[in-house]
Amino acid sequence: MTAAPVVVCPDCDGMAFTLEPCRCTTYGDRFLADADALGPRREAYRSCEQCRGAGSIAYPCYRCGRRGRRRAQLVVTVANLDTGAVASHQVVPGGLDPHRDPAGHWVVDLSFRVRELAAAVGAVLDETDAPSLWLDRQWRPDLPAALRHELEAQAILRADHAPWRLVLGRSTAPATVDPAARLARLCALADLLLLDLVVEARRQGEGFCWAIRYEVPGSPVPLGSPGWCRDLPEVLACTDVAKALTGLAERGLAAPARLLRPDSPRPPAGPAVDVDQLERRVLADCVDPTGGDELPGAQALWRDGRWWHTTLRAGEPVETLAEQPTGQVVRRVRVPVTRGYEPPDPAWLGELVDWRPCPDCRPHNRLRACDCRLGGRAADPDCPHCCGAGLRPSALHCFTCGDTDRLLRTVSVTVTDLRHRVVHLAWQAGTPEVAPLVATQPNGRPVVQLPDRYRLGSWAAVLGARPEDLRDADGGHDLDRDLRDGYVTVPWAGADPVREHVRAAGRGTAAGRLIVVAAPPDAPPLVELLRLALGLDLALVVAVCDLRHNAGDPLLADGLRWSVETKPRDAAVSPDDLPYRPSLAAALAWCRECLTDAVASAAPTNPATPIPVPWSGPRDLVADPEPDLLRLASRHAGQAVTVRFTRAGCAVHRHDDDAVRLLAEAPDLRDLRLT
């Protein structure tokens, strides 16, 4: 095997920093600039707060991590999740084997290598995500070796932002998504959750880009292009339920909150949906029928068990002024897009919810409650941040309302398994409830507990799920413990706990709708990820902390906390790596999602150390370590226990305050039964 040479970083010429044009040069020497009308090229703004008029700024070179040298090596690894077999190919100067493309350029097609590796491990790949390396025009097979290798090293360095690429496959081809079945499922779920399903086509260049998403009624049409999919079948193939729900709150922050009528007459179940017909109709709506002009786009809305069609039209241009870090102000003109036709309200939508303006922020600017008012105190007249005004500019969301600017009287909570089961709840401030005192916060505020119907954990049980499987349907975030168990910290004894609970549940939601999933996440088994990590010759680091003894204390985290990560084989356990996921399944799902990034960043930072080129035949699954992990965690209850699994065996660490202590090492976790 050819060794990976270390070469001078071409992006910074070995200086470890680069001189880049300052942002101010985009607009030239102007205080007020138009975003669309760019200034003379490379002219600096004389009063620039970043470059002080010099026009360029020195940045640390991120391509070499400020080392000035780089490793001319790429590694492509293909792994079969079903067998654990792993095969790799490394690209270094001298072993590129390029071919000529029809235009006469020399190119190294790595997707060919990926297919070879996939055949070697018996894997069917979803997609062969492999780069092509283009060689410099000077490159020819008959050049002297030293010059050829130098040009090849440059081609490799142009592609080394992900120096180690992992491509995952399985022994059998993945089931392809049937667009009609997916659309039918998305529609059925819209009916179940009482949401709109929006199918949108927007003009982009010569063609269209498509998006499909859930919305609450009253959400505005988003600015800008909604995605990259070129037709309806493609957008259906890449939009599952979780993706269609993601961003629901952001899209509907300004939508009016209305009560739900879950008992309203429901549309007949299982409508036939013709994807072709729907696509043709939406495209036809992108042309103005009166003048034959092109419109910016069109939408189809699934509401109340049928499709409603509307054109999208350009509205009045809106001008915005945005301050730049350079001190310049940039004027942008945006053309909002509105619906040509607003479909009638769905039968399940009731009257408007009462609300009052949020006292802790100002709409349309970034003023938020100052820290001096935390805990409900009056503003401090001597506060260095707000001088007693009680408000200060902040880049964060308003903690009180989550940037909805409204405090609602009622919040609608939907708990669902995302299949067939759903519960719609209405929690209303002012409802008298028996809420016994269960604890007192260190600042003296009482903590009370509301009855079962305010505890999402109890509703999870009704739907046959565990409380730790609850998550926000929008983005999949973990749910607050107070919402799970109905705990409320009230400002004073006797204050309305439901009002505080409604505020917590409604913070940052669209139209006062909190939608919660009560079902385990889709996660690979621990033993499968463990086998994969060993095949890649990496470490699988599993951390668990048993806090179940805190179950009765509303002020402390409880239950089991998990994390699962792939790390370089020799990486030390960091004191900061504490587990925080509420279930092993949630930790495994996250590990799987980050796997290719984790492998890319497992490449050694020192350019003199080569990236490993792992090979492994099929491996048997090991015995499931979960019972042993649970036993270890309960033995060290209250402290995080981290187990690093590598080909050499396993090492158990415990987090004591700020230090990490090695407890034991063994070839197999089961051998540690007696420690």
* C-alpha dist (Å) from residue 372 to 359, 365, 403, 444, 565: 15, 20, 20, 18, 39
Name the nearest CA neighbour of 616 among 514, 557, 536: 536
Q: Say how many CA atoms lie within 13 Å of 212 toward its Cβ.
A: 29
Residue 25 or 566 having the CB closest to Zn ion: 25
Least separation in angstroms between CB 508 and Zn ion: 10
Which residues make Cβ contacts (< 8 Å) with residue 210, sequence separation at least 6? Answer: 199, 200, 201, 202, 226, 227, 229, 230, 231, 232, 234, 235
Secondary structure string (H, E, C) spanning 335-366: CCEEECCCCCCCCCEEEECCEEECCCECCCCC
User: Interacting stretch for Zn ion, rule CB under 5 A, among 11-19, 99-107, 233-241, 487-495?
Assistant: 11-19
Residue 602 in contact with Zn ion, rule: CB under 5 A? no
Least separation in angstroms between CB 62 and Zn ion: 8
User: What would the x/- binding string for Zn ion be over residues 50 to 79, using CB under 5 A?
Assistant: xx---------x-xx---------------
Q: How far apart are CA 97 and CA 116, in angstroms?
A: 14
Name the nearest CA neighbour of 457 among 446, 443, 468, 473: 468
Residue 367 in contact with Zn ion, rule: CB under 5 A? no
Q: How far apart are CA 282 and CA 211, in angstroms?
A: 12
Determine contact, residues 611/163, Cβ cutoff 8 Å. Answer: yes
Residue 46 or 661 having the CB closest to Zn ion: 46
Residue 300 in contact with Zn ion, rule: CB under 5 A? no
Member of 9, 212, 435, 585 binding Zn ion (CB under 5 A): 9
Residue 431 in contact with Zn ion, rule: CB under 5 A? no
Residue 400 or 431 having the CB closest to Zn ion: 400
Least separation in angstroms between CB 356 and Zn ion: 11
Residue 254 in contact with Zn ion, rule: CB under 5 A? no
Member of 74, 135, 248, 372 binding Zn ion (CB under 5 A): 372
* C-alpha dist (Å) from residue 3 to 10, 158, 451, 469: 20, 19, 67, 48
Look at residue 390 and give its three-state secondary structure.
Answer: coil
Residue 326 or 410 having the CB closest to Zn ion: 326
Residue 628 in contact with Zn ion, rule: CB under 5 A? no
Member of 154, 400, 431, 550 binding Zn ion (CB under 5 A): 400
Least separation in angstroms between CB 292 and Zn ion: 47
Least separation in angstroms between CB 247 and Zn ion: 20
Which residues make Cβ contacts (< 8 Å) with residue 618, sequence separation at least 6? Answer: 80, 83, 84, 85
Among positions 15-34, residues that touch Zn ion (CB under 5 A) are 22, 24
User: Interacting stretch for Zn ion, rule CB under 5 A, among 7-15, 483-491, 597-605, 609-617?
Assistant: 7-15
Query: Which amino acid is located at 389 in the chain?
Result: A
Least separation in angstroms between CB 301 and Zn ion: 30
Member of 33, 135, 249, 358 binding Zn ion (CB under 5 A): 358
- Degrees, nearest 5: CA angle 195-196-202: 150
Least separation in angstroms between CB 326 and Zn ion: 5
Residue 48 in contact with Zn ion, rule: CB under 5 A? yes
Length in residues, the chain:
675
Residue 407 in contact with Zn ion, rule: CB under 5 A? no
User: Interacting stretch for Zn ion, rule CB under 5 A, among 2-10, 214-222, 234-242, 303-311?
Assistant: 2-10
Determine contact, residues 113/73, Cβ cutoff 8 Å. Answer: no
Residue 157 in contact with Zn ion, rule: CB under 5 A? no
**Tokens for 53?**
């008029």
**Tokens for 305?**
């068990």
Least separation in angstroms between CB 633 and Zn ion: 40
Residue 603 in contact with Zn ion, rule: CB under 5 A? no
User: Interacting stretch for Zn ion, rule CB under 5 A, among 270-278, 366-374, 429-437, 550-558?
Assistant: 366-374
Least separation in angstroms between CB 255 and Zn ion: 16
Residue 410 or 642 having the CB closest to Zn ion: 410
Strands 649-656 and 640-646: antiparallel
* DSSP string computed for 495-506: S-HHHHHHHHHH
Residue 400 or 634 having the CB closest to Zn ion: 400
Residue 67 or 567 having the CB closest to Zn ion: 67
**Tokens for 442?**
């260190």
Residue 361 in contact with Zn ion, rule: CB under 5 A? yes
Q: How far apart are CA 367 and CA 401, in angstroms?
A: 13
Least separation in angstroms between CB 27 and Zn ion: 10
Q: How far apart are CA 454 and CA 456, in angstroms?
A: 6
User: Interacting stretch for Zn ion, rule CB under 5 A, among 124-132, 381-389, 510-518, 665-673?
Assistant: 381-389
Member of 168, 184, 383, 527 binding Zn ion (CB under 5 A): 383
For residue 156, give the H/E element and its range: helix 145-158
Member of 159, 398, 517, 536 binding Zn ion (CB under 5 A): 398
Query: Which amino acid is located at 613 in the chain?
Result: V
User: What would the x/- binding string for Zn ion be over residues 303 to 342, using CB under 5 A?
Assistant: ----------------------------------------
Member of 230, 280, 332, 385 binding Zn ion (CB under 5 A): 385
Q: How far apart are CA 657 and CA 420, in angstroms?
A: 46
Residue 77 or 404 having the CB closest to Zn ion: 404
Residue 12 in contact with Zn ion, rule: CB under 5 A? yes
Q: How far apart are CA 437 and CA 431, in angstroms?
A: 17
Least separation in angstroms between CB 67 and Zn ion: 7
Residue 253 in contact with Zn ion, rule: CB under 5 A? no
Look at residue 367 and give its three-state secondary structure.
Answer: strand
For residue 124, give the H/E element and its range: strand 124-125
Could you tell me the end-to-end alpha-carbon distance of the chain, in angstroms, rounded to an integer?
A: 44
Chain-centroid distance of CA 659 in Å reads 31
Q: Say how many CA atoms lie within 13 Å of 116 toward its Cβ.
A: 9
Member of 150, 215, 304, 360 binding Zn ion (CB under 5 A): 360
Strands 410-416 and 513-518: parallel
* C-alpha dist (Å) from residue 90 to 76, 235, 412: 6, 35, 55
Residue 604 or 618 having the CB closest to Zn ion: 604
User: Interacting stretch for Zn ion, rule CB under 5 A, among 191-199, 246-254, 363-371, 587-595?
Assistant: 363-371
Q: Which letter does DSSP use for residue 500 in this model?
A: H
Residue 496 in contact with Zn ion, rule: CB under 5 A? no
Residue 400 or 458 having the CB closest to Zn ion: 400
Residue 50 or 601 having the CB closest to Zn ion: 50
Residue 221 in contact with Zn ion, rule: CB under 5 A? no
Least separation in angstroms between CB 7 and Zn ion: 11
Residue 178 in contact with Zn ion, rule: CB under 5 A? no
Residues in contact with Zn ion, total (CB under 5 A)? 22
Residue 408 in contact with Zn ion, rule: CB under 5 A? no
Which residues make Cβ contacts (< 8 Å) with residue 662, sequence separation at least 6? Answer: 651, 652, 653
Least separation in angstroms between CB 383 and Zn ion: 3
Query: Which amino acid is located at 431 in the chain?
Result: T
Residue 370 in contact with Zn ion, rule: CB under 5 A? yes
Q: How far apart are CA 133 and CA 424, in angstroms?
A: 54
Query: What are the residues binding Zn ion (CB under 5 A)?
Result: 9, 11-12, 22, 24, 48, 50-51, 61, 63-64, 358, 360-361, 370, 372, 383, 385-386, 398, 400-401
